[in-house]
Amino acid sequence: MGGGGREGRSYRSRTQRKHFKQSRENVWKRSKSDPSAPDSTDNPTWQPFATQNPAFDEYYKAQGIVAAEEWDRFVEVLRKALPAAFRINSSSQFCSDIRSQLENDFMKSLQAEVSEDSEAGAIRPLPWYPDNLAWQSNFSRMQLRKNQTLERFHEFLKLENEIGNITRQEAVSMVPPLFLDVQPDHFILDMCAAPGSKTFQLLEIIHQSTKPGSLPDGMVVANDLDVQRCNLLIHQTKRMCTANLIVTNHEAQHFPGCRSKSNASNKGIELESNINQLLFDRVLCDVPCSGDGTLRKAPDIWRKWNVGLGNGLHSLQLQIAMRGISLLKVGGRMVYSTCSMNPVENEAVVSEILRKCGGSVELVDVSTELPQLIRRPGLRSWKIRDKGVWLASYKDVPKYRRTGILPSMFPSGRSDVDPTDNGHKHENGTNVNSEDALQPMDNAVASVDDLDAEVSDLPLEHCMRLVPHDQNSGAFFIAVLQKVSPLAVEEKPLSPEGNSVPKKDDEPHTTLLDHIPEDKNGKVEVADDTNEKCPEGGSTEANLIDTEEGGATLEVDSSNACEIHDTEETEMHFDKETDSGRIGAKRKLQVQGKWKGVDPVVFFKDETIISSIKTFYGINESFMLNDHLVTRNSDAKHVKRIYYVSNSVKDILELNFRVGQQLKITSVGLKMFERQTSREGTAAPCSFRISSEGLPVILPYITKQILCASATDFKHLLQYKTIKFPDFVDAEFGENASKLMMGCCVIVLRKGSNASTVPVQVNESTIAIGCWKGRGSLSVMVTAVDCQELLERLLVRIETQKDNSMPENNVEAAEAQDPDNNGTKEGTDSIGIAINA
């Protein structure tokens, strides 16, 4: 979910770790103890989840989504579980290794699990995705979890996904970013980003051609309305280790444009930004929808589905899309997408965008792109169903329903009605305003073929619809729009604060909740979409195009302050340390500009600390630290974490300061340094260690506290975690390690028999880990998952010695006896493996 009002939200306390474990109930899965399980002898009357809905069949048969002769096949596939799909991270250091393992190992070993008459293999690359980077298995997610023979493959998927080498993602969900034509220097907005799989995909693309230690010129702003979903988004994209990402928490249809005025006061902040307005080269507008394209993975939608879901979301989807167009640069491209098959949510929205924008926006024909992707052209004619009645045009809409059924829902978009006709009649002669008309009519269905449906004169065939039975996938809708000239709109007068002043005769706000049907308990039921988004409420019909984005931000309700919390906790950095002086004390409410309860974003300018970091690690002057470091703590003396931002992110932050911090930022930058607070850490010459996320970026510029280790010693470090200096196989390496200053250091895997050289030459294949040099030993600070994954990769890449020089029992004894272990285990997820791409 990425936009909407606050009416439908409950205000919860700050997000906890447990919230990340909460996910949508898997209705395909039954626990072994479930008495309703199909193999249970206690309940022989058990029936599978209902996978049919007469209203669904009637609606989509009438819309002509597929030809009549295809209908049975279409529904048959919809009722089957969705095959699992995943995508290899193209910017991962081990991208080629993983692809090779899939092609040469799993494709062959899993073939026995597929029936001989099956045309599809056990796993196969998706033919339309470039470079064999996206794969689909012939097994559902439940089969992967339950089948013992698939256990090795399932464990492989889980491990690589957690590390960030692959992303488990529905196949059709991978399509929209591919049609954006993203370049490394593009500024990209993902308007409704959570849970973040498409954001991760966009980051991969801009990082794909960068060299080790360098950052792309482009960046991604990922936005979502819900705070907890923002946290999920942060956790997902954290695996990418990027300094080119900002995560924001706004209603998508009111996303601020941060226009800077030359006479604006900086309130003492002297900043020079290269941009004066927040505009984007690419916009991904994957809006909240009814989600009936996800029936295969969420069969509970079958019983929830009704026509009111799509009708109720149309207005919001249009607002979000128009906001995206207004934030798009001239010449830029926007992809509008949904996981719904409903033309009211798809073609109707695209049509209204084209009408509102005149000739400023064009629908792009991308039929020649991704030629192996099977797609259907968009519809040019469709009908509206409301309250059991089919409507061919807006003039058929009864007066009392015109707040919910809008002209933009129809193919022509015309609102011409007879002003004297207050009680419109249906084509069968019944008065639609009568009470009887509120109930479905028997002959309404029979007469649908006789309706004189409107036909759009717009080139909607350039849109594309993916249907499940074409390539064994979910359903999706995609439209590619290009902004060819500025929008011809009138700027609104501004208040002294720079916000737009509403006109006195503005129409009353029309909320989404007015358009969505309620159940008997008064609760709104809306199905989740592909990314498990929820519809956004509280949106207004007016002001779809607003060239002065200063008025687009909303004031934060004070009751929401408890929900927006410490970003350092949000990013799942669960520091177990507790300041003894603050035990039991309430945390001071943070303020980020006008956003209460959000940690501030502050440029870190403590020259003493920055100088000590540069000196300790011998950071080359060519690496720009100054003006690229930020923190989330306004008290520079108590900073725990320092984040690094790219040039593009730095420019946006400076612009945000100039315009009064209109962006509500929940996460920004790449965690580069962390304060070491253990007893031994405070005695080190530098109190800040390099984080695992930041190590790949800064590695080429480190000239001190860095050593090269042989393959054997490197493997031993990963296996045993702590090794005393005399116990290293390479005695020279052990001696050199003992001469390092106490504190954080970096160990690089030596290539072949090359001698250790400083500075270390870094390229795409360089593997490095962060360690802690204690008084008598070297301790690697890598999580168990990271160690497991890297060791498996090294077995393929490195010819290790047959016999380990150091017996395992000696190493274990060294671990038990080494007093340096005390305190060095702190933050095991803070120093880790450097993966260069």
pLDDT 10s digits, 507-537: 333 333 333 333 333 333 333 333 444 444 3
H/E element, 188: strand 187-190
Beta strands 833-835 and 777-780, pairing class: unpaired
Beta strands 706-709 and 743-749, pairing class: parallel
Q: What is the pTM of this model?
A: 0.78
| Tens of pLDDT, residues 206-252 | 998 788 778 999 999 999 998 888 888 898 888 888 999 999 999 99
CB 123 within 8 A of CB 136: yes
Rounded distance, CA 499 to CA 116, Å? Answer: 66
The pLDDT value given to residue 212? 75
The pLDDT value given to residue 816? 40
Range with the poorest average pLDDT among 221-230, 254-263, 442-451, 661-670: 442-451
The pLDDT value given to residue 147? 76
Rounded distance, CA 159 to CA 680, Å? Answer: 33
Tokens of 112: 């026995």
- Percent of the chain at pLDDT above 70? 69
pLDDT band at residue 798 under the 50/70/90 scheme = low
Rounded distance, CA 329 to CA 456, Å? Answer: 27
Name the residue with tokens 């933009």: 408
65: Cβ contacts below 8 Å, ≥ 6 apart = 74, 341, 379, 465, 467
Helix axes 227-237, 197-207, angle to 10 degrees: 40
Rounded distance, CA 258 to CA 553, Å? Answer: 9
**CA distances in angstroms from 701 to 119, 698, 758, 780, listed in the order given:** 52, 6, 11, 21
Rounded distance, CA 106 to CA 418, Å? Answer: 66
Higher pLDDT, 295 or 833: 295
Tokens of 598: 């959000």
Q: 437-443, long-range: CB within 8 Å, 24+ apart, which pairs?
A: 437/387, 437/389, 437/398, 438/387, 438/388, 439/388, 440/387, 440/388, 440/389, 441/388, 441/389
Per DSSP (E only), the strands in 410-564 are 464-466, 476-483
**CA distances in angstroms from 383 to 210, 386, 724, 805, listed in the order given:** 49, 10, 75, 76
DSSP-derived secondary structure letter, 500? B
Name the residue with tokens 């796993």: 123
How much is the mean pLDDT over the chain? 77
**Number of CB atoms found within 10 A of residue 443's CB:** 11
Higher pLDDT, 631 or 588: 631
Collapsing DSSP states into helix, strand and coil, what is residue 723? Answer: strand
Helix axes 808-817, 711-720, angle to 10 degrees: 60
Tokens of 299: 């069969």
Higher pLDDT, 413 or 569: 413
DSSP string, 360-414: GEEE---TTSSTTS--EEPPS---EEETTEEESSGGGS-GGGTTTS-GGGSSS--
Collapsing DSSP states into helix, strand and coil, what is residue 619? Answer: coil
Beta strands 688-690 and 706-709, pairing class: unpaired
| Tens of pLDDT, residues 454-483 | 999 999 999 999 999 999 999 999 999 999
**CA distances in angstroms from 620 to 255, 603, 623, 669, 745, listed in the order given:** 39, 21, 6, 21, 16
Task: Count H helices and E strands in the chain, helices first.
Answer: 24, 29
Rounded distance, CA 530 to CA 339, Å? Answer: 6
Range with the poorest average pLDDT among 145-154, 156-165, 167-176: 145-154
**Catalytic sites, residue numbers:** 339
Higher pLDDT, 114 or 268: 114
Q: How many residues does the chain have?
A: 837
pLDDT band at residue 781 under the 50/70/90 scheme = confident
Name the residue with tokens 């607070």: 677
Rounded distance, CA 189 to CA 441, Å? Answer: 45
Q: Is the pLDDT of residue 98 over 80?
A: yes
Rounded distance, CA 762 to CA 323, Å? Answer: 43
Rounded distance, CA 1 to CA 196, Å? Answer: 11
Residue 661's region, left for phi above 0, alpha for psi from -120 to 50, else beta, is left
DSSP string, 734-761: HHHHHTSPSEEEEEEEPPTTPPP-SSPP
| Tens of pLDDT, residues 57-89 | 999 999 999 999 999 999 999 999 999 999 999
Rounded distance, CA 306 to CA 292, Å? Answer: 10
The pLDDT value given to residue 78? 95
CB 644 within 8 A of CB 694: yes
Identify which of 7, 6, 18, 3 has the alpha carbon closest to the alpha carbon of residue 574. 18
The mean pLDDT value for 778-782 works out to: 88
